[in-house]
């Protein structure tokens, strides 16, 4: 079942007409479907039912505390990369023992906060970080559980900006350095090495890179066994892709079957860190046409959503499907959909065929639930959009629209 669908020429979010939402709350407007999030989480999590596992939602994809609370109530853990994400997760009621902390640049105060909270483990990315965690834990009279993020040098065949598991990337340790790290961790008094971590990239549309990385990780685990290290967690990260345009990513069931076949008999708890695959297609960005503009070579739809609201097209040249909120029987026209920001990169679509649109009408930008609001900014002093969560026939504001006063509230 699709929870964003056209009915009699009107776009609905579950049981709520999107036209009603934009009239009430204005635009730009992020709209999320709770039913879609539930369905996606259940589909993903159940794919690994044959394994001891913990599904830790990747907070960076969309960090609204209401969405974290929704997934936490379904048994999700969290994959975090900052002290702010830890704060959000705890505020959402997710137990600290279901939180793993990734990222290359953990600051001392963030490490202290995570140790005080009692998180499941740190995914450590350098020897310097390991030594710092040990020193801080010693000072607190604590023992830090850690895994090391291993860089298996696997090409995920995705956009280079979201590839994370190759030698040239900043993330993790190569296989040789990782052995040194585990040997050091074994001897540090305030460190308990409990896991292996690996994340090769985002928006993957094939499971073969996952399986190639897994083979290398399992060979590496055998060496740790020989060192007398007992590893109980295998964190395989996230990265499973979604359909934005014509991609055909594997179903989570296919991924689950492949991992279960290889890991079923191993005494490990598998940790998975899905983000985009849970929330990406659970959200849209609604926007209004401010002006239409015809030049000798182009027709433009100038809308009120901009690259500060949704930066993915400008940053990655990403495709997002765009459609009407209220259908009109007009022939298609090739247009650029652009925003008001003073940058030539401020576009949502280029050379896109859309039904002829007029000033004041509304469009929906699809697949905007992941890395949409989470990457938004106040560039050009634009207040950030409101966020709405629809659940059946109910719609509620889960983040109010910013005001001009908000723009200067922290400035002294």
DSSP letters for 160-179:
GGGB-SSTTSSSSB-HHHHH
Q: Do domains 4-32+280-408 and 103-272 have the same CATH topology?
A: no
Identify the weakest region by mean pLDDT among 55-64, 165-174, 316-325: 165-174
**pLDDT (0 to 100) of residue 55:** 97
Residue whose token pair is 């709405």 = 388
- For residues 11 and 326, what is the distance between their CA atoms, to the nearest angstrom? 6
Contact between 175 and 219 (Cβ < 8 Å): no
**pLDDT (0 to 100) of residue 157:** 54
Q: Which of 342, 381, 405, 409 is catalytic?
A: 342
Q: Is 56 a catalytic residue?
A: no
pLDDT in tens, 350-369: 999 999 999 999 999 999 99
Q: Between the CA of residue 350 and those of 19, 116, 301, 304, 346, what are the distances in Å?
A: 25, 49, 10, 16, 10
Q: Between the CA of residue 13 and those of 17, 285, 310, 329, what are the distances in Å?
A: 6, 12, 20, 22
The domain limits of the chain are: 4-32+280-408, 103-272
Nearest to 150 by CA among 121, 193, 190, 179: 179
CATH class for the domain made up of 103-272:
alpha beta
Nearest to 117 by CA among 148, 74, 80, 149: 80
- Radius of gyration of the chain from its Cα atoms, rounded to whole angstroms: 23
- For residues 79 and 98, what is the distance between their CA atoms, to the nearest angstrom? 9
**Helix axis angle, 127-140 relative to 108-117, nearest 10°?**
50
pLDDT in tens, 13-22: 999 999 999 9
Contact between 60 and 374 (Cβ < 8 Å): yes
Q: Is a pLDDT exceeding 50 seen at residue 51?
A: yes
Identify the weakest region by mean pLDDT among 74-88, 143-157, 227-241, 397-411: 143-157
pLDDT in tens, 190-235: 999 999 998 877 677 788 888 888 888 898 999 999 999 989 999 9
Average model confidence (pLDDT) for the chain?
Answer: 93
Q: Is a pLDDT exceeding 90 seen at residue 52?
A: yes
Cα(first)–Cα(last) distance of the chain, in Å?
A: 50
The stretch 64-69 carries a mean pLDDT of 98
**pLDDT (0 to 100) of residue 185:** 96
Q: What does CATH list as the number for 4-32+280-408?
A: 2.40.37.10
The stretch 289-304 carries a mean pLDDT of 97
Nearest to 210 by CA among 269, 274, 127, 146: 274
pLDDT in tens, 129-171: 999 999 999 999 999 999 999 987 776 554 444 344 345 555 6
**pLDDT (0 to 100) of residue 158:** 45
Q: Is a pLDDT exceeding 90 seen at residue 172?
A: no
Q: C-alpha dihedral over 202, 208, 209, 215, to 10 degrees?
A: 140
Residue whose token pair is 């009407």 = 324
pLDDT in tens, 24-39: 999 999 999 999 999 9
């Amino acid at each position: 079942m699709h929870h964003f669908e056209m009915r009699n020429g009107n776009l609905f979010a579950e049981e709520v007409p999107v036209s009603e939402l934009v009239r009430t709350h204005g635009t730009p407007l992020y709209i999320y479907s709770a039913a879609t999030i539930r369905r996606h989480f259940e589909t993903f999590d159940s794919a690994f039912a044959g394994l001891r596992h913990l599904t830790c939602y990747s907070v960076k994809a969309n960090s609204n505390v209401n969405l974290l609370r929704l997934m936490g109530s379904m048994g999700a853990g969290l994959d975090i990369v900052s002290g702010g994400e830890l704060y959000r997760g705890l505020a959402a009621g997710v137990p600290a023992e279901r939180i793993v902390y990734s990222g290359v640049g953990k600051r001392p105060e963030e490490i202290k906060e995570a140790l005080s909270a009692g998180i499941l483990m740190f995914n450590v990315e350098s020897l310097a970080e390991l030594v710092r965690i040990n020193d801080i834990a010693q000072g607190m009279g604590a023992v830090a559980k850690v895994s090391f993020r291993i860089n298996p040098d696997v090409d995920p065949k995705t956009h280079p900006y979201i590839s994370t598991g190759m030698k040239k990337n900043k993330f993790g340790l190569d296989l040789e350095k990782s052995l040194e790290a585990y040997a050091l961790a074994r001897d540090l008094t305030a460190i308990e090495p409990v896991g292996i971590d690996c994340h090769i990239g985002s928006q993957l549309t094939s499971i073969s890179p996952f399986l190639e990385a897994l083979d290398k990780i399992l060979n590496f685990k055998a060496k740790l066994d020989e060192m007398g290290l007992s590893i109980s967690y295998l964190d395989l990260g996230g990265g499973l892709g979604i359909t934005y345009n014509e991609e055909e990513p594997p179903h989570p069931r296919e991924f689950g079957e492949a991992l279960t076949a290889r890991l079923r008999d191993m005494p490990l708890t598998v940790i998975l860190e899905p983000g985009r695959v849970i929330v990406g297609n659970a959200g849209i960005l609604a926007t209004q046409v401010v002006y239409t503009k015809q030049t000798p070579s182009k027709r433009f739809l100038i809308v009120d959503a901009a690259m500060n609201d949704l930066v993915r097209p400008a940053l990655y040249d990403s495709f997002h499907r765009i459609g009407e909120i209220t259908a009109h029987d007009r022939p298609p026209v090739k247009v650029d959909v652009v925003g008001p920001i003073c940058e030539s990169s401020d576009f949502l679509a280029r050379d896109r065929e859309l039904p002829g649109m007029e000033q004041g009408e509304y469009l929906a930008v699809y697949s905007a639930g992941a890395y949409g609001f989470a990457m938004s900014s106040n560039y050009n002093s634009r207040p950030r959009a409101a966020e709405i969560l629809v659940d059946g026939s109910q719609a509620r504001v889960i983040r109010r629209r910013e005001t001009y006063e908000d723009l200067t509230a922290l400035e002294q």
